[in-house]
DNA sequence: TTATAAATGTTATATTATTACATAGTGTTA
DNA sequence: TAACACTATGTAATAATATAACATTTATAA
């Protein structure tokens, strides 16, 4: 009990699962201390517990950090297994964040080389604008 | 005295100029509190003075914030007058950061539209990898 | 089993950033 | 000039974000 078979397949520990579930259910990015407040009733009482789980979940590609917001969202892009190639759209009015899943974009960026011929192993892209709702 | 003609043309106030000069001279991104320690001898004594100047300089496009590092670099891209379209390469070993100035990349990203047809007015892209030095 | 690695619990602290309010300078215009 | 609005500055306090350090427990594997 506690951790089911399916959870084990996802390789999530108890704290990781609690924190992932919370982020996954949230319609908006969650900040570390918001997460902390929301999982204290489940026994997670201190920042390091939250940050450790977040770090692992990011490594696994289960969640992504929105750097410009210091907040985390669950990955809903099935092809996105690791934290290597991420792109997001962020509404500057309502703060809605959506993960962008564009083959064209990811191919373009994965193959991008700068002037020095530097090849990258990872990128993060954040677009800012107005979402549909906030545009009208 | 204190603020020269050329500085006025750049519309920098005293604190903005002091802080811009420091960042501009630095070979590496500077963090807000590193800046604070380095300008205390020049009369800037408290965090708000630093953050206010940083905010304005970012608005003007004179400096950029490297979101994944909470650090700031001077803009050396003459076509980059505002904080609207930024791309950087970051070495994960030595933490060297370079602003990428690629017409192809900026055109591609400026014209990128997601599935919902959302048009963006701003983006920030950070590439991670190994710089020339650290690769050998 | 024994060893190893991974995860957890806990306290304290470090780092990054903002609020709030008082004061001073700058430019515009009546 | 005087009045006004606007921008920038100075200062203290505090909020928000993140990590260090160390003890303990749990999971995995030899
Ligand atoms: Zn993803
Ligand atoms: Zn919106
Ligand atoms: Zn620039
Ligand atoms: Zn390097």
CA of A50 to C1' of D9 (A): 39
* CA separation for the pair B77, A61 (Å, rounded): 33
Structural domain count of chain A: 1
pLDDT tens digits along B37-88 = 999 999 999 999 999 999 999 999 999 999 999 999 999 886 565 779 999 9
C-alpha separations of B74 from A30, B2, B65 in Å: 31, 21, 9
Average pLDDT over residues A89-114: 93
* CA separation for the pair B125, B36 (Å, rounded): 27
CATH label of the domain that carries residue A78: 1.10.10.10
Q: Can you tell me which residue has the tokens 């997601």?
A: B114
Can you give A100-135 as a three-state secondary structure string? CCCHHHHHHHHCCECCCCCEEEEEEEEEEECCHHHH
* CA separation for the pair B60, B88 (Å, rounded): 18
- Is A132 in CB contact (< 8 Å) with chain B? yes
A112 CB neighbours in chain B (<8 A) are 102, 105, 127
pLDDT tens digits along B94-135 = 999 999 999 999 999 999 998 887 779 999 999 999 998 898
pLDDT tens digits along A103-131 = 999 999 999 998 887 779 999 999 999 99
A119 CB neighbours in chain B (<8 A) are 129
Query: Cβ within 7 Å of strand D: which of A 53-72?
Result: 55, 70
- Cβ A120–B127 below 8 Å, yes or no? yes
A68 CB neighbours in chain B (<8 A) are 67, 124
Q: Can you tell me which residue has the tokens 């963006």?
A: B120
Tell me the ligand closest to B93's alpha carbon: 4
Tell me the ligand closest to A129's alpha carbon: 2
CA of A74 to C1' of C15 (A): 26
Nearest protein residue, CA measured to C1' of D11? B46
Q: The domain containing residue A69 runs over which residues?
A: 5-135
pLDDT tens digits along A2-56 = 333 333 345 899 999 999 999 999 999 999 999 999 999 999 999 999 999 999 9
Q: Count how many pairs of residues, chain A against chain B, have C-beta atoms within 8 Å.
A: 83
| CB B51 under 7 Å to nucleic chain C | yes
Query: Cβ within 7 Å of strand C: which of A 25-84?
Result: 43-49, 52-53, 56
């Amino acid at each position: 009990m506690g951790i089911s078979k399916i959870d084990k397949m996802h390789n999530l520990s108890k704290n990781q699962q609690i924190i992932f579930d919370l982020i996954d259910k949230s319609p908006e990015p969650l900040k570390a201390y918001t997460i902390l407040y929301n999982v204290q009733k489940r026994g997670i009482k201190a920042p390091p517990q939250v940050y450790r789980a977040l770090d692992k979940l990011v490594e696994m590609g289960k969640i992504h950090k929105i750097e410009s917001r210091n907040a985390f969202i669950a990955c809903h892009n099935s092809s996105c297994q690791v934290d290597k190639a991420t792109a997001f759209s962020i509404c500057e009015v309502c703060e809605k964040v959506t993960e962008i899943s564009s083959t064209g974009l990811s191919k373009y960026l994965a193959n991008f080389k700068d002037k020095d011929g530097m090849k990258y192993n990872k990128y993060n892209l954040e677009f800012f604008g107005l979402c549909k709702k906030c545009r009208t």
